[in-house]
Chains A and B, each alone.
Chain A
């Protein structure tokens, strides 16, 4: 069965500190991978995506993610967090048949 795991339910970082949000997936073939961000009461916004090619992908708002096939991971990183980055972050896997699987999300708190 396919699944997406985000092991950290909640993370707190200081403004200006680096950030890494973890995501592991279980899928038999090379998946399409995504990170989304959700501000309170809002829809989800796409941060970045991986389909193929370079395993380090750049996204919006200074985020990047690295696909590691050997670890079945697609961790999200940002070198310096801003207070406006406080939100819920979701990792997702897309596969053939228009099926998407989302992780349960990681809530990020940024302290000044």
Chain B
């Protein structure tokens, strides 16, 4: 069966420090991978998605970046965190289904607090 892992689960970082959140998927090949951010009391904001190694699409311009160094690994990074980067970050994966897109499967999330 497929599983998705995110780490760290919780992170407290000072403003201006770097960030690295990692996500790996097991049990599937060539998944589509996504990073979402969920601010307190708000919905999900798509940050990045990737359909293959080295292929990253950015939905929202910001000081965050994403990389996909391996087929089932997706990394969210920042060189200098801002207070506004605080939130709950969710990694997700899916596969193509027919002419559309299959359901997303989410990791357990990483809570980032920037102080």
Chain A residues packing against B (C-beta within 8 Å): 31-32, 34, 36, 41-46, 49, 51, 90, 92, 94-100, 102-105
CB neighbours (8 Å) of A104 from chain B are 42-43
Q: Is the CB of A96 within 8 A of B105?
A: no
Q: Is the CB of B98 within 8 A of A98?
A: no
Q: Is the CB of A41 within 8 A of B111?
A: yes
Of A45, A90, A96, A102, which is within 8 A of B99 by CB?
A96
Distance (Å) between the CB of B57 and the closest chain A CB? 9
Interface residues on B, range: 20 to 34
A72 to B98, CA, bound (A): 21
Q: Is the CB of A98 within 8 A of B49?
A: yes
Q: Is the CB of A105 within 8 A of B43?
A: yes
Of all chain B residues, the one with the shortest Cβ separation from A95 is B100
Q: Mark B74-115, 1 if CB is under 8 A from A, else 0.
A: 000000000000001010101011111111111111010000
Task: Answer whether residue B24 sits at the interface, using C-beta atoms and an 8 A cutoff.
Answer: no
CB neighbours (8 Å) of A49 from chain B are 103
Of B43, B101, B108, B109, which is within 8 A of A102 by CB?
B43
Q: Is the CB of A94 within 8 A of B42?
A: no
Q: Is the CB of A34 within 8 A of B103?
A: yes
Of all chain B residues, the one with the shortest Cβ separation from A34 is B103
Q: Is the CB of A98 within 8 A of B106?
A: no
8 cross-chain pairs, A with B, having the tightest CB-CB distances, nearest first: A43-B106, A104-B43, A94-B101, A44-B106, A102-B44, A32-B100, A43-B108, A98-B32
Of A51, A95, A98, A103, which is within 8 A of B96 by CB?
A98
A42 to B97, CA, bound (A): 26
Task: Answer whether residue B46 sits at the interface, using C-beta atoms and an 8 A cutoff.
Answer: yes
A34 to B34, CA, bound (A): 17
